[in-house]
Amino acid sequence: MERILSAIGWITLVLVVLVGLLYVGVVWLFTAPFDPGRYHAGRAFRQLAVATVTLNPLWHFETDGPTPANPRNPYVAVSNHESYADIFLISHFPWEMKWLSKDTLFKIPVYGWLMRMASDIPIKRGKRESIVSAVAGCRDRLAKRVSVMIFPEGTRARTDEMLPFKDGAFRIAIDAGVPILPIAVAGTRSCMAKGSFAFRRARAKARVLAPIPTSGLTAKDVAALRDQTHDTIDRARRVLQRELAAEAKSV
């Protein structure tokens, strides 16, 4: 039965993306002249992820935490990374963020076009010129008063332990003078395991945490900021894991 429901989930995803191309395209067309940060087109794209989860019979997602008072005061948002489902979960937060994503995703027909209309930022691992371009893209979006979303582990963890964070997101935040916005994720590994594209029955949560200011920090503070953020997210995700376990027992 779960295989059938997974197939239904994929069919739903494809249909939402195809219909969403028209929706996001219209929003992009009518807002582009006065929205250089593509805030509205990006929000339309994230709404496709919310619709996909709503229609997926296997997934139950929740988000909580303090919503930024002014979403146009940008942040560098960072989160732990458990699976591709993280993208669908974090898209439920009610403000726009431009995603730093693998360049291969931008090559997927229709989906890649949507990412480009949303002004997400491609990066190719190990390629210096791509990394330089991606950093410039992040700075550009922040300058246009739109937050960026980065997974500082660099890849999805295969185990329950978080991988070390890389420095890039924290250098960008300090250079731009914007706060770090930590987000903790739990449960998405059960939704879609690394190495598999099958949807599985699961509950998942994401919690936005208190921003970490970067004013007055310099390049010398990158490591301390990185480690502080890693520990903050790690503690919060363990709390989320306990909450999910308690909810599972009560069902």
* Domains observed in the chain: 2-250 (3.40.1130)
DSSP secondary structure, 117-180, as one string: HTT-EEE-TT-HHHHHHHHHHHHHHHHTT-EEEE-TTSS--SSSSPPPPPSHHHHHHHHHT--E
Per-residue pLDDT of the chain (251 residues; tens, 9 = 90+): 777 888 888 889 999 999 999 999 999 999 999 999 999 999 999 999 999 999 999 999 999 999 888 989 999 999 999 988 999 999 999 999 999 999 999 999 999 999 999 999 999 887 889 999 999 999 999 999 999 999 999 877 777 889 999 999 999 999 999 999 999 999 998 887 666 678 888 899 999 999 999 999 999 999 999 999 999 999 999 999 999 999 888 76
Q: Is 71 helix (H, G, I), strand (E, B) or coil?
A: coil
Burial of residue 234 (CB within 10 Å: 0-12, 13-18, 19+) is: middle
Burial annotation 198-213 (CB, 10 A radius, 16+ → b, else e): ebbebbbbbbbbebbe
101, amino acid identity = S
Contact 98, 9 (CB under 8 A): no
**Predicted local confidence at residue 23, as pLDDT:** 97
CA distance 136 to 123: 11
Say which residues have a Cβ less than 8 Å from residue 88's Cβ, sequence separation at least 6.
Answer: 49, 50, 52, 53, 59, 61
The pLDDT, as a whole number, for residue 251 is 61
**148-174 burial by CB neighbour count: b if 16+ within 10 A, else e?**
bbbbbbeebeeeeebbebeebbbbbbb
Nearest to 157 by CA among 62, 65, 230, 48: 230
CA atoms within 13 A on the CB side of 11: 7
d(CA 141, CA 68): 17
pLDDT attached to residue 85: 92
| SS3 assignment, position 206 | strand
Name the nearest CA neighbour of 51 among 23, 80, 83: 23
DSSP-derived secondary structure letter, 210: -
Burial-class residue 34 by CB neighbours within 10 Å (0-12, 13-18, 19+).
exposed
- Is the alpha carbon torsion for 135, 141, 145, 150 positive or negative? negative
